[in-house]
């Protein structure tokens, strides 16, 4: 065997070895249930009741309704965009409106005033007629 072939053999072994993904090996031999607990949308980790709250909001609104999303006053400001995106996903067919600009962070009071519904999650103040309360929040009709 020439030195080049020996080096090529070692290199091929290294290429193969470094490309093995331990995450997929772990799926075959590890505790999958334990790992599944990590596979949760990050918003659901920070706001555990939020997905259930939005499911209730969905069941109480119709396609085409506009809904402004309000999150807890105490929640980190960085969380708002994620909560707004999550609401867009879990309230399909509705026009989901932010009350804080997801890009710039500036308040958008006009959206709260313009929306048919305001979905308030957490301890923020509501406005209008309370349609429903539960799952850590409330839905108001304006």
Binding stretches for other proteins (CB under 8 A): 4-5, 7-12, 14-21, 23-28, 32, 35-36, 39-42, 63, 81-82, 85-86, 88-90, 92-93, 95-98, 102-103, 111
How near is the Cβ of 51 to other proteins at its closest, in Å? 10
User: Tokens in use for 14?
Assistant: 């290294």
Distance, in Å, from the CA atom of 131 to the CA atom of 108, rounded to the nearest integer, reads 23
How near is the Cβ of 133 to other proteins at its closest, in Å? 26
Distance, in Å, from the CA atom of 3 to the CA atom of 9, rounded to the nearest integer, reads 10
Nearer to other proteins, 20 or 129 (CB): 20
How near is the Cβ of 79 to other proteins at its closest, in Å? 12
User: Tokens in use for 102?
Assistant: 């997801």
Distance, in Å, from the CA atom of 39 to the CA atom of 62, rounded to the nearest integer, reads 30
Q: How far is CA 24 from CA 1, 29, 30, 43, 100, in A?
A: 35, 9, 10, 25, 40
Nearer to other proteins, 24 or 73 (CB): 24
Query: For residue 131, how many other CB atoms are within 10 A of its CB?
Result: 15
Nearer to other proteins, 5 or 125 (CB): 5
How near is the Cβ of 139 to other proteins at its closest, in Å? 19
Nearer to other proteins, 73 or 92 (CB): 92
């Amino acid at each position: 065997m020439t030195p080049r072939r020996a080096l090529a053999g070692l290199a091929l072994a290294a290429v193969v070895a470094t490309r093995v993904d331990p995450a997929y090996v772990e799926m075959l031999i590890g505790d999958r249930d334990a790992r599944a607990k990590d596979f949760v949308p990050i918003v659901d980790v920070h706001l555990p009741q939020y997905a259930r709250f939005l499911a209730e909001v969905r069941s109480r609104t119709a396609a085409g309704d506009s809904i402004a999303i309000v999150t807890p006053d105490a929640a980190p400001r960085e969380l708002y965009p994620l909560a707004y995106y999550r609401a867009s996903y879990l309230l399909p067919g509705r026009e989901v409106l932010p009350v804080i600009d997801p890009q710039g962070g500036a308040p958008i009071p006009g959206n709260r005033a313009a929306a048919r519904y305001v979905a308030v999650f957490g301890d923020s103040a509501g406005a209008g007629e309370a349609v429903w309360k539960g799952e850590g929040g409330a839905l108001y009709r304006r």
